Amino acid sequence: MTTSPLERAAESFAAELARHRTGRGLSKKQLATMMGFDPSYVSHVEGCRHRPTEDFARRAEAVLDADGAIWQRFREYDQLRQARAAPAHREPAPTGRWLPPGTGLLVERETATLTLTDHGYRCVIRRQLHNAGAEPVTRYLVRVAVDRWPDDPGRSNRHHREHPLTFAELGLRVFRDDGRSREPMHWRVRHDRDAYKEIWLLFENADGPFPLHPGERAEIEYAYRVGREKWGPWFQRAVRLPTRHLAVRLDLPAALDPRVWGVETSLSADEGPLRTPVRRHDRSDRAVFDWAIDDPPLNTRYRLQWRFRGEPAEAERSTPTGRATDRLHALGLLPRDADQPRRPARPLDLPTDEPRAREVAERLTAVLARVDELHPFSAGLGLAAPQLGVDAAVAVIRPADRAAEPVVLLNPRVVDASPDTDEQYEGCLSFADHRGLVPRPLRIDVEHARFDGSRIITSYSYGMARLVAHEIDHLEGRLWTDRMAPGVPLVPVEEYPTV
């Protein structure tokens, strides 16, 4: 059987990808996770069941650092594809020096420094950027978040509602340095919330624009201050772009006798210790802690935490007493042995049932907000109408990223699921005192309705796939314990952190 030049080019790309992947000692699942794709996607591309896309090729080149080999194979494939689609308009192949591709922007180095003084915390973040895309970059999104008591979200939420973070106190300063000049940058607010800010850093100032053109490199620096009364004992960095090197420094008063440790989480794994150690070295009256990692996977979050042993402990928290399940049942959540959660929920007739759908969604959202004040669920949480005794196919999910808007699902059903699964511990608001190992697909496609009755399909991956699948189970009359393997014991929540 003969193959076409286009098919041979796709096979050449797949072979080059496999060669560099195995040379780095990575499995297909590991590479897909580092690239931010579904774990099955790399397998499909290497098996020539999926044709490579430009985005896939750029990410693979950036992650595997293949000196242009993967990107060259893609260019050869893409030129053949374009020639077959429109031979009369074939573009000449690019000439000149090869530029390492990325996902538009590549962070070659990030250094973040957090310093505590008598005036509070000062944060300085520097990122060395490389525009490896095909279009000029004119803005860059950054986030500033505070959480006074990260282990007590209810207390933190109340505190920041009463004492919101303001741009005036942040005193944000932003610069761009291309090696020839250091220019101040303008910025624009995208989201302004009590404990969370999202800001566009603009590649422009009063003298005019200075976009980062394809192939160019520049360092951006932004700095801000936050008072100690609003900053909790933690500092988190999230990897949202392909990053070569990430480094964090904590500069703390030695007189406070700080103890520092760290954890990391990703879309496909629960919280665990940092893979590289935190190093301490003292400078006069300062205790300096350095941590760094090379080639951190996309969508991984690293959090450094500390405790000051040289100052009195804070007063005992005024949190409600009693078991978590009892506190949640007091909010109206039915126990897991009630009849309602075991019956499939009634589908809504939309748009006729729109007023009721909105009423149920608002009630679920309000209960979730109250749950956040009573019991911390850092990995996100959800609530389905049957858990409140309401016979309606409505669920609301609060993602792990607290800055994200809640997801409302109406009449949802899973229409496709990844064959790749993982097994993680789950809990439930109706049964909050235990955890259990539950296998779930790493990706699910969910068909669901809008309030106007139209239907759409949304794909969810990793942590969100688990949250959404859990709530759809509730709407279908199934509990998470039904999906556990026979003989696997439940773990009391007090023992869960040690398993």
The two three-digit tokens of residue 290, written as one number: 């350095």
The two three-digit tokens of residue 437, written as one number: 């190992």
314-317 own/partner pairs: CB under 8 Å, 24+ apart = 317/149, 317/152, 317/155
DSSP bridge pairs for 249: 113, 290
CA distance linking residue 123 with residue 115, whole number of Å: 6
* Pair type for strands 245-253 and 105-117: parallel
Phi, psi at 363, each rounded to 5°: -65, -45
Written as one letter, the residue type at 82 is: Q
CB atoms within 10 A of CB 324: 20
What DSSP line would sit under 169-234, residue for residue? HHT-EEEEE-SS-EEE-EEEEEEEETTEEEEEEESEETTEE--B-TT-EEEEEEEEEE-TTT--SE
Catalytic residues: 471
CA distance linking residue 407 with residue 46, whole number of Å: 34
Q: How many residues are there in the chain?
A: 499
The two three-digit tokens of residue 254, written as one number: 């030695």
**Residues 50, 56, 59, CA angle at the centre, nearest 5°?**
155
User: 490: phi > 0 → left, psi -120 to 50 → alpha, else beta; which?
Assistant: beta
Residues of the chain by 3-state class (helix, strand, coil), percent to 5: 30, 35, 35
Cβ atoms of residues 82 and 106 within 8 Å: no
CA distance linking residue 279 with residue 287, whole number of Å: 10
The two three-digit tokens of residue 29, written as one number: 């699942």
